[in-house]
Amino acid sequence: MIRTFLERQALGHNRLVSLYRRFGRPYGTQWAAYLQRHGGLYHLGKDCSILPSTRIVDPPLTSIGDRVQLGNCTLLCHDGAIAAISHRHKLKLDRVGALVIEDDVFIGEGAIVMASGGKVVIGEGSVIGAGAVVRQSIPAGSIVTGNPAKVVGKVEDMLRFWEADTLAWPWGGLIASREGAYDPAIEPELMRLRQIHFFGKAADRNA
């Protein structure tokens, strides 16, 4: 009941937001819904999932497409060093850009995407790996890793390996039968099979 109250206050009235994040523990889809109403982004598309721990530093200069998933990453459209440098060298400088994340992009844990020197576009269907530091536009369908980030492959090539791996798992049949990327009805059995495979037996919940 408390979580529902906090969600209504945050989504409906932009109130008690810090309490909603802490105690309401919103899912990525719920936080994306909050950001659509109150986040101040230039654009935020439909069916997105954005973890509350994600930092969007310059919302008015950030455009996010449909079905984007952001996992505890940082999106930045300015250079924070400008104030110190401008003061020391008696110059009037600006280092700012715009960030466009196109449809169906995934940005992983700890990744930083910086658009402080112009417009940066993350092409549709791309995967930005955990910890990557991206400073330039990325072609559609790319796999990006590292610091500085580099394109290391194409998503369509990776999928062939992932499909083969999925079929080889003992739970491959369950994955093939489920609807979407998550099905709570089969999740307990999936976890049991995974524990047996990786640890030799399922966890003893009574221990």
pLDDT digits (tens, 9 = 90+) for 153-191: 999 888 888 889 998 999 999 998 888 777 888 999 999
Q: If you write DSSP's letter for every residue of 20-44 in order, what string do you get?
A: IIIII---HHHHHHHHHHHS--SEE
Give residue 146's identity as a one-letter amino acid code.
G
CATH number of 40-153: 2.160.10.10
Task: Tell me the CA distances in angstroms from 181 to 91, 109, 160, one per residue in order.
Answer: 52, 19, 17
Is the CB of residue 27 less than 8 Å from the CB of residue 52? no
- For residue 21, what pLDDT is reported? 84
How many residues are there in the chain? 207
Tell me the average pLDDT across 115-128. 94
Whether this model's pTM surpasses 0.95: no
Residue at token pair 């919302």 = 59
Express as a percent the part of the chain with pLDDT over 70.
99
Is the CB of residue 174 less than 8 Å from the CB of residue 193? yes
Residues in contact with 176: Cβ distance below 8 Å, sequence separation at least 6, in sequence order: 166, 167
Task: Tell me the CA distances in angstroms from 1 to 7, 23, 31, 34, 47, one per residue in order.
Answer: 10, 11, 18, 18, 25
What residue segments make up the domains of the chain, in order of their start?
Answer: 40-153, 169-207
| CA angle at 70 for the pair 65 and 74, rounded to the nearest 5° | 105
- For residue 117, what pLDDT is reported? 80
